[in-house]
Amino acid sequence: MIRDVTLGRFLEGDGVLYKLDPRTKLMGLLLYIVSLFVFKTWLGFTLTLVFFLVLRKLSKISFRYMLKGLKPVFFIILFATILNVILGQSDWTKTLFTLWRMIGAVFASNLLTLTTRPREISDGLEKGLSFLSIIHFPVHELATIISLAFRFIPILTEEAGRVIDAQKSRGSKIGEGKIVDKAKSIMPIIIPLFISAFRRSDELALAMDSRLYGSGKRSVWKKMEYSKIDIYGYMVSVLMLALMIIDRCVL
Amino acid sequence: MADIVLDNCFYSYSNSLEEKVLSGVSLRVEAGSFISVIGPNGSGKSTLAKLLNGLYIPSSGIVEVDGLSTREKKNIPQIRRKVALLFQNPDNQIVGDTVEDDTAFGPENLGLDRDEITKRVEDSLSKVGLLEKRKMSPNTLSGGEKARLGIAGVLALNPEVLVLDEATAMLDPEGRKEVMAILQDLWKYQGKTIILITHHPEETIYGERIVVLDKGEIKLDGSVAEVYRKSETLKKLGLELPPYVELSLLLKEKGVIDDIAFDSSSLCPLLESKI
């Protein structure tokens, strides 16, 4: 199951979403998530759902692959939904809306990472947050950390898979038994994974030092440029949010 | 061209000099040479590699690259431009999402303009035979290709010296051959200095000099022939010999040949002279 994690993975493709500038996609994601938490009626629910389905179609990523992305957060969503019901949310419509808000946010985030290379996301963030450098916020460092974190997701999930296989081959019953047993069996995976991650990060830091990272002013090889399609991207995202505000305030 | 000089270098990971990883290492690496460093695990090979481009500073003693001491902080960027270091696991040193992005990482850190970066990326990738795969994700490359990408990444810095810290350790024989062919080309035809730290004895015959480390000290230092003639010392240290050296030692013991050989081209004349 660990190898099925799609979060943070980039998938080669040629859908329309791939052609958008990362800044447009980041802003679009932000506005979409806000829209998800703004709508109040069935109309808003339907619009956000249709909007997501259209985006999915434009990305040309299979719905089955998107569903895989829900696996790691399935229990969190389930837990939140149960809490919602227990804490007096007797209105099933609202529970369904809450459920969709969480699933929609995960789906939309997945769409971003599946159609955008980690480096593009970090470059987009760096550019988008560049105004923070006025207050000496380390924007570039933050963007690099995010980019590296994304890059190492597939490597560490592979490694987790190997650790699980190794522990299973030594008789460990990972993922078997009751929930408490399942939780306990995670420890023999987590510890070696952490040790490995620390070793990797140490070597990565040395390699980056060797390649003169942080030794002076950096230049950027690939310049980000908006195209016509980005204007449509911004317009649609803003329109979606505007409609959701109307949905909340007027309807 | 950069000469590297280590003078009486000691290194300890703790503050106490009693637990020394390197102990009085003195070494001179002439520009344009190909040196292999071998030794058992824990002999200090990787520490030595990290001293060469200022990642580690010796506890005592001096490391100088082209006259620049690694003790001076201001010299470090210049030293790292001259001496590039490649580590064992290629996955742990790849930073970019595509082959070309990763190669551009070093030149970007140098603050070069776009045209120069493009030129360096293309040059480096063509030197290691990865130009056609420039748009691919590093995750899709084979082990050998990832190691070649690592070499391209440091070549883009246009270094004079390449230090490979067991960079072929995780590769299959085919991948190792690919890397060794590139190193030969860089050394013979492009004048780069190569310092190869390795556990594979057969790789040492590609070079011209071997340094043997044990417990932080240099036990042997000489030409490939000189070192392998002292095979008893190597065996005492638990080090393997290249297959041709092993074979020629056996033949010499039986009186079939008079000297040792490192490959087929040196073994055949020895045999022919006796037939």
pLDDT in tens, B57-90: 999 999 999 999 999 999 999 999 999 999 988 8
The number of angstroms, rounded, from the C-alpha of A244 to the middle of its chain's C-alpha atoms is 23
Residue A5 pLDDT greater than 70, yes or no: no
> Which pLDDT score is estimated for B173?
86
The minimum CA-CA distance between B91 and chain A, rounded to whole Å, is 8
Q: What is the pLDDT of residues B132-172, one digit of tens each?
A: 999 998 888 988 899 999 999 999 999 999 999 998 888 88
pLDDT at res. A215: 84
Of A4-18, A110-124, B152-166, the poorest mean pLDDT is in A4-18
Is A212 in contact with B77 (Cβ distance < 8 A)?
yes
Buried b or exposed e, range A41-59, using 16+ CB within 10 angstroms: eeebbebbeebbeebbebb
In a mutational test of the B interface, the residue from A221, A222, A223 whose CB has the highest number of chain B CBs within 10 Å is A221
Cβ-defined contact of B89 to A200 (cutoff 8 Å): yes
**In the CATH scheme, what is the homologous superfamily, with its name and number, of domain B4-238?**
P-loop containing nucleotide triphosphate hydrolases (3.40.50.300)
pLDDT classification of B270: cutoffs 50, 70, 90: confident
The SS3 call for residue B12 is: strand
Q: What's the gap in Å between the CA of A216 and the closest CA on chain B? A: 7
* pLDDT level of residue A180 (50, 70, 90 thresholds): confident
Higher pLDDT, B262 or A174: B262
**Residue among A119, A147, A210 minimizing CB distance to B80:** A210
Comparing A131-145, B5-19, B144-158, the range with the smallest average pLDDT is B5-19
Residue B224 scores a pLDDT above 60: yes
Q: What mean pLDDT comes out for the span A27-44?
A: 94
Torsion-angle region of B53 (φ positive above 0: left; ψ -120 to 50: alpha; else: beta): alpha
- In this prediction, residue A136 has a pLDDT band, given cuts at 50, 70 and 90, of confident
Mean of the per-residue pLDDT values of chain A: 87
Q: Give pLDDT tens digits for B101-123.
A: 999 999 999 999 999 999 999 99
CB contacts of A155 in chain B (<8 Å) are: 91, 139
Whole-number pLDDT of residue B18: 66
* pLDDT confidence of residue B267: 85
The residue among A215, A210, A202 whose CA lies nearest residue B80 is A210
A148 touches chain B (CB under 8 A): yes
Q: What confidence category does residue B125 fall into, taking pLDDT thresholds of 50, 70 and 90?
A: very high
Q: What is the mean pLDDT of residues B24-49?
A: 94
pLDDT band at A22 (very low <50, low <70, confident <90, very high): very high
Mean pLDDT of the A121-143 span:
88
Angstroms from B144 CA to nearest CA on chain A:
17
Q: Which residue, B133, B131, B106, B128, is CA-closest to B117?
A: B106
Contact B80 A212 (CB under 8 A): yes
- DSSP H helices, B135-263, are 143-155, 173-188, 201-204, 224-229, 231-236, 243-253
Residue to mutate among B55, B89, B105, with most A CBs inside 10 A, is B105
Indicate yes or no: CB of B111 within 8 angstroms of CB of A216: yes
Domain edges within chain A: 2-249
* Region B189-194 average pLDDT: 94
Percent of chain A with pLDDT over 70: 95
Q: What is the pLDDT of residues A226-245, one digit of tens each?
A: 999 999 999 999 999 999 99
**pLDDT-derived band at A1, boundaries 50, 70, 90:** low
* A225 has a chain B CB within 8 A of its CB: no
For testing the chain A interface, which of B46, B57, B80, B95 should be mutated: the one with the most A CBs within 10 Å?
B95
All residues at 6 or more sequence positions from B229 whose CB lies less than 8 Å from its CB, including other chains? B260
Q: Is B109 exposed, middle or buried (0-12, 13-18, 19+ CB in 10 A)?
A: buried
The distance of B178 to chain A (nearest Cα, Å) reads 22
Residue predicted with more confidence, B90 or A73: B90
Domain boundaries, chain B: 4-238, 242-275
Percent of the residues in chain B that have a pLDDT greater than 90, as a whole number: 68
Q: What is the interface pTM, i.e. ipTM, of the complex?
A: 0.87
Tell me whether residues A207 and B53 touch, CB distance under 8 A.
no
Would you say residue A132 has pLDDT above 60? yes
pLDDT of residue A90: 63
A214 to chain B: which residues are within 8 Å by CB?
A: 109
Single-letter amino acid code for the residue at A236: V
pLDDT, mean over chain B: 91
Task: Tell me the CA distances in angstroms from B94 to A25, A42, B100, B102, B213, one per residue in order.
Answer: 25, 47, 11, 6, 29
Confidence of residue A112 (pLDDT cuts 50, 70, 90): very high
What mean pLDDT comes out for the span A13-25? 92
Q: For residue B157, what is the nearest residue in chain A, using CA coordinates?
A: A211
Residue B154 has its nearest CB partner, among A147, A211, A222, at A211
**pLDDT(B274) > 90:** no
Distances (CA, A) of B204 to A165, B9, B215: 36, 24, 20
- Is A63 touching B (CB cutoff 8 A)? no
Nearest-CB residue to A219 (from B87, B101, B111): B111
Distance (Å) from the alpha carbon of A212 to chain B's nearest alpha carbon = 6
A148 contacts in chain B (CB < 8 Å): 95
